[in-house]
Structure 1
Amino acid sequence: MSEREAPDALLLMAPGCAHCPVVLHNLSQLLKQGRIGRLEAVNIMQHPAVAQSVGTRTVPWTRIGCFELEGALSLGELERWIDLTGRDEGEASYLIHLFETQRAHAAVTWLQRNPDAMPELLGLLRSPTTPIVVRIGIGVVAEDLQGTPLWQSTLTDLLKLAESPDATLRADAAHYLGLTLSSDAIEPLRGMLDDDNPDVREIANESLELLNGGNS
């Protein structure tokens, strides 16, 4: 098996930032070790457009591969994100990180730039061990992406979730199917009106009302 290519890193920093030199030092060490392929450090006071282009006012701000990270990062934390680049579990771990740090809207922006990670988002929804804070974050993402092609791309996975033996997951599926605003969700939701669980039936009816413009 060929060795994975080392990811590139971008660091945004500013004068007076106490943590920026530490992160720069750690990244420089990783560059010397060959753990990252290229390191670019930008003083955002001199180049504010760079911070604007990535949508942040926070320093230090670090991007490793596709992962965008805020605040002070230890050498171990940087090594962890390097190890997770290019792996499906890395995308899931990054989404969990965003939700646990109350950055659900940042997850929306990140998913729009990385649409191939949508199956990992749905995988978190399916997992019975996913923490409640992550489930809440997924709900924020779904609401923000309501009716967009990106959320509609989850339709196949949501239909599978609608067949789960777990009533909670079926209820989730009923809600999120409605948020696709897709006509392809209407018949599956009508079928869920006969579900054994009353919560599933109620949510399916609400989603049908949404799809039918208020008329179930």
Structure 2
Amino acid sequence: MAEVDNNKSPPEALMLLGTHCPHCPSVLASLSELVKKGVISKLEVVNLEQRPDTGRELGVRSVPWVKIGPFELAGLHSTAELQSWAEQAGSEQGMTRYFEDLLGEGEVMRVLEMIANDHGLLHALIGLVSDVDAKINARIGAGVVFEDYEGKPELLALVPELGELTRHPDPRVRSDACHYLSFTHDASVTKYIEPLLEDKDDDVREVAEESMAVLNDAG
């Protein structure tokens, strides 16, 4: 397991359990161990049978359920898995991984809800766009999220990062970055898209042409 980063404040954790839950003791033991090691700073444990109101407030219907920092994890997880999530809490890389898991499971609405509450989380999608090994469902889901922000000012904050990805060595990344830049409806992104009109990859050139058409129509 990785060493604890003493320069970063460890996250707090919340666990919901049930008296007759077969996996809850294992998860509780793992979390308690992480508290002892300083990977988690504080652990709150709630028995849903005694406090069903907590489950209703959080929308939790089954246990074990754990929240570590911003990450909500349902079901059985090993100590190593829980430590990994704890160590990534508060990092953009961790949120990218979390979004990949959620989008890979079809939880697009959950991701949209999180981003609506904090538009800065949009930046975590850049890691999915640039990762050609990311789950295909997650990459498709990221596209749905980008489309939801088409023409909205929040997307402009991602222009520099998306622009950089138009020079990525993998044509799939160049195509996706080009496509998402067109969602900004901002003429300034043409400086990133125009070079792709001469790209060596046929698909990239086609996406660039379509993106330029979108920008022209939007302008």
Same fold (TM over 0.5): yes
Q: CA deviation at 1:2?
A: 4.6
Partner of 1:109: 113
Would you say 1:72 and 2:40 are equivalent positions? no
Q: In 2, are the aligned partners of 1:112 and 1:150 still within 8 Å (CA)?
A: no
| 2-structure distance, mates of 1:170, 1:3 | 36
Q: CA RMSD in A?
A: 3.3
The one of 172, 176, 181 aligned to 1:177: 181
Instruction: State the TM-score, normalizing by the size of structure 2.
Output: 0.75
User: Which amino acid in the other structure matches residue 77 of structure 2?
Assistant: L
Match of 2:12 in 1: 8
Give the SS at the match of 1:154.
helix
Size of the aligned set, in residue pairs, is 215
**Structure 1 residue 93: Cα displacement:** 2.9
3-state DSSP class of the match of 2:101?
A: helix
Contact 1:171 1:203 in 2 (8 A): yes
- 1:8 CA displacement: 0.4
Map 1:94-133 → 2, pairs under 5 A: 94-113=98-117, 115-133=119-137
Of 40, 43, 60, which residue of structure 2 is paired with 1:39? 43
The reply on whether 1:204 has 2:208 as its aligned counterpart is yes
Q: Could you tell me the percent identity over the aligned residues? A: 36
Secondary structure, in 3 states, of the residue corresponding to 2:30? helix
Q: Do the aligned partners of 2:132 and 2:172 also contact (CA within 8 Å) in 1?
A: no
Q: Is the 8 A contact 1:62 1:70 kept in 2?
A: yes
Inter-partner Cα distance in structure 2 for 1:92 and 1:173: 16
Is the counterpart of residue 83 in structure 1 residue 66 in structure 2? no
Map residues 127-146 of structure 1 onto 2, 5 A cutoff: 127-146=131-150
Whether the 8 Å CA contact 2:104–2:135 is kept in 1: the answer is: no
Q: Match of 1:153, SS? A: helix
**Structure 2 regions of 5+ residues with no counterpart?**
none
The match for 1:19 is 23
Normalization by structure 1: what TM-score?
A: 0.75
3-state DSSP class of the match of 1:69?
strand
